[in-house]
């Protein structure tokens, strides 16, 4: 089969490799659509190395059709349309036992320990199936849309900590695919005003078309001043940093109102150490949270957004 093989840092080669051989409890999925994650880019560039093997097939955002099932598989059939949560928690560590399986100490993942989706076919090991990581798709969801189930589930997991409610003013910094997903989920959660900060003209236009209340070009307009004008001088109830840029962390903190919630959602390159004005957190009593991966329950509700 054809696959994009990561041979070393900064080298992916499109080449012929052996088609995966199934164990009795595995399934084989023909990849119909795959998405490129910022994490994949960091793996390619060498700024993320944990769990990465050379050579290997990376990629973890995908959808496809089951074309083969092992003899012991009973939950799925050939022809089923599926996507998957690529992260497999151990189920028994301190974090798994306390509702934080997404930061499991012993987790494994497709695209890391197991070959990923940048190939014609991907093998889903039996333990992923047994623990509920594989999700059936309805016929109404396109393969392209379903390939975004994993990042959308990550957004849902990240917003769970923010408790966005009816009437909240939300600032999202960055209007790439993740920022747009944050905007849509925030709107579905009841946010009344969603402010998007994005320097790219095309992405700003997309955000506006999809429902942003206000879009800002931070290279031409003062972000803090604009946010305050939009919120009667108070600041945003919720700020989501959806781009891993060390230079704008303080901007995100500055735009939150006193007692506001700030999500450092985006991942940063390994070793990135932004200078943070800690007084913004201290005196404004900000609640600052991170976001890591997703939980299996998140990917199971994604089809509801079709």
Residues 6+ apart with CB under 8 A from 172: 179, 182, 183, 186, 194, 195, 196, 197, 239, 240, 242
- Nearest Cα neighbor of 302 from 154, 187, 177, 172 is 154
pLDDT, tens digit, 9 for 90 and up, residues 1-41: 999 999 999 999 999 999 999 999 999 999 999 999 988 99
Host H or E run for residue 278:
helix 278-284
55 SS3 class: coil
pLDDT at 47: 86
Distances (CA, A) of 216 to 96, 206, 260: 40, 13, 20
pLDDT at 286: 98
Q: Percent of the chain, pLDDT > 90?
A: 92
45 strand-pairing partners:
none
Residue ranges of the chain with per-residue pLDDT less than 70? 303-306
């Amino acid at each position: 089969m054809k696959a994009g093989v990561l041979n070393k840092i900064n080298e992916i080669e499109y080449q012929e490799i052996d088609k995966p051989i199934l164990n009795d409890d595995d399934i084989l999925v023909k990849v119909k659509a795959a998405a490129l994650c910022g994490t994949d880019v960091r793996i390619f560039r060498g700024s993320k190395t944990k769990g990465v093997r050379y050579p290997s097939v990376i990629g973890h955002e995908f959808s496809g059709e089951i074309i083969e099932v092992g003899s012991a598989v009973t939950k799925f059939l050939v022809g089923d349309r599926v996507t998957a949560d690529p992260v497999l928690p151990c189920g028994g560590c301190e974090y798994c036992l306390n509702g934080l399986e997404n930061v499991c100490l012993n987790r494994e993942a497709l695209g890391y320990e197991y070959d990923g989706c940048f190939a014609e076919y991907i093998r889903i090991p039996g333990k992923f199936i047994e623990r509920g990581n594989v999700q059936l798709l309805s016929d109404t969801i396109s393969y392209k849309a379903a390939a975004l189930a994993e990042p959308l589930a990550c957004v849902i997991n990240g917003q769970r900590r923010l408790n966005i409610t009816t009437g909240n003013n939300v600032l999202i910094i960055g209007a790439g695919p993740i920022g747009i997903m944050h905007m849509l989920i925030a709107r579905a959660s009841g946010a009344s005003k969603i402010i998007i900060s994005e320097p790219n003209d095309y992405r700003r236009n997309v955000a506006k078309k999809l429902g942003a209340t206000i879009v800002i070009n931070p290279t031409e307009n003062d972000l803090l001043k604009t946010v305050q004008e939009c919120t009667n001088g108070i600041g945003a109830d919720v700020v989501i940093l959806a781009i891993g840029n060390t230079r704008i962390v303080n901007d995100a903190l500055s735009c939150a109102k006193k007692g506001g919630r700030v999500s450092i959602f985006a991942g940063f390159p390994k070793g990135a150490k932004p200078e943070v004005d800690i007084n913004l957190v201290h005196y404004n009593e900000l609640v600052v949270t991170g976001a890591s991966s997703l939980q299996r329950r998140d990917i199971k509700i994604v089809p509801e957004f079709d």
